[in-house]
Amino acid sequence: MGAAPQINVKVFTFNPFRENTYLVWDEEGSCAIIDPGCYDEEECLRLRSYISSEGLVPKAIWLTHGHFDHIFGVADLAREFSIPVFMSSEDKPILERDWSFAKGVGLDAPDVSFGFSGLEDGQVLHLGDGPVSFKVIATPGHTQGGVCFYCEGCGLLFSGDTLFAGAIGRSDLFGGDYDKEIVAIMEKLMVLPGDVDVLPGHGPKTSIAAERTSNPFLQPFNEPWEFETD
């Protein structure tokens, strides 16, 4: 059995919603930028400076979904590095409404002029020419086109706003669907190995095992066994 592929992850917390933006790269420095939510020039400079200081080579931007707090930096970074953007086509209606969502909470509207390639459930994304790959897992519910990125060899899941430490993504916004979200989490995420690290779109990291046993929103995993006493 071969050794697990080596990857590195750096998390930045950006914008007033404290969104987690991730850089993930392999041994060659080939890098994906996941959900760049950098809002102002200072936040964008922090991200760019780290990329430069580590000698990383951005290859693509991967979006777990289209909400404004996850895409503030997409257009500028895509232009600067001449890299493609990947997002589910199901979230295009979200992009079209992001200006009003952002304005509604007192923030500047994001630049949504970027093009993107649509993601499909089961699609495989690569960081570069090396062995590191991530599987796209469609998890609609927080948004219609929400996805997670799973590296089986690395035991790592980028869960966006689908699954958090002790919580799940809200489903009461445009395009949300609670039933779809619960089904996706139960049937696609909770079946992953327990030692998979979960890196969510907000808040601290967790694990599949921790969420199976303690997430109050996933009651079927938390109900105690009932034993016959006679």
Q: What is the tens place of the pLDDT at every residue in 13-68?
A: 999 999 999 999 999 999 999 999 999 999 999 999 999 999 999 999 999 999 99
Tell me the per-residue pLDDT of 77-124, one tens digit each, with 9 for 90 and over.
999 999 999 999 999 999 999 999 999 999 999 999 999 999 999 999
> Which residues on neighbouring strands pair with residue 8, listed in sequence order?
25
According to the model, what pLDDT value does residue 130 have?
82
Q: To the nearest whole percent, how much of the chain has pLDDT over 90?
A: 90
Rounded to whole angstroms, how far apart are CA atoms 48 and 113? 20
Name the average pLDDT for the chain.
93
The confidence band for 153, taking pLDDT boundaries of 50, 70 and 90, is very high
The confidence band for 5, taking pLDDT boundaries of 50, 70 and 90, is confident
Q: Which of 144-153, 192-201, 220-229 shows the lowest mean pLDDT across its residues?
A: 220-229
Tokens standing for 5? 């592929």
The pLDDT of residue 221 is above 70: no
According to the model, what pLDDT value does residue 3 have?
63
Rounded to whole angstroms, how far apart are CA atoms 148 and 146? 7
Q: What average pLDDT does the segment 163-184 reach?
A: 95
**Number of neighbouring beta carbons within 10 Å of residue 173:** 14
Rounded to whole angstroms, how far apart are CA atoms 44 and 12? 10
**What residue has token string 């509207």?**
109
The pLDDT of residue 2 is above 60: no
* Long-range contacts formed by 167-174: CB under 8 A, 24+ apart: 167/203, 167/215, 167/217, 168/142, 168/215, 168/217, 168/218, 169/141, 169/142, 169/201, 170/142, 171/141, 171/142, 173/67, 173/142, 173/143, 174/93, 174/94, 174/97, 174/101
Annotated domain spans of the chain: 7-221
The pTM of the full predicted model, rounded to 2 decimals, is 0.93
Residue type (1 letter), 29: G
According to the model, what pLDDT value does residue 223 have?
47
According to the model, what pLDDT value does residue 149 have?
98
Inter-CA distances, 228 with 2, 66, 222, 223, 225, Å: 47, 49, 19, 16, 10
Largest CA distance in the chain: 71
The pLDDT of residue 200 is above 70: yes
7-221 placed in CATH 2.60.40.10: no
The pLDDT of residue 224 is above 80: no
Q: Is the dihedral of CA 118, 26, 154, 158 positive or negative?
A: negative
Q: What average pLDDT does the segment 197-225 reach?
A: 86
The pLDDT of residue 222 is above 70: no
Q: Which of 89, 63, 229 is nearest to 160 (CA)?
A: 63
**What residue has token string 């790269």?**
25
Residue pair 21/33 in contact by the 8 Å Cβ criterion: yes
Inter-CA distances, 16 with 47, 169, 183, 193, 210, Å: 16, 18, 30, 33, 27
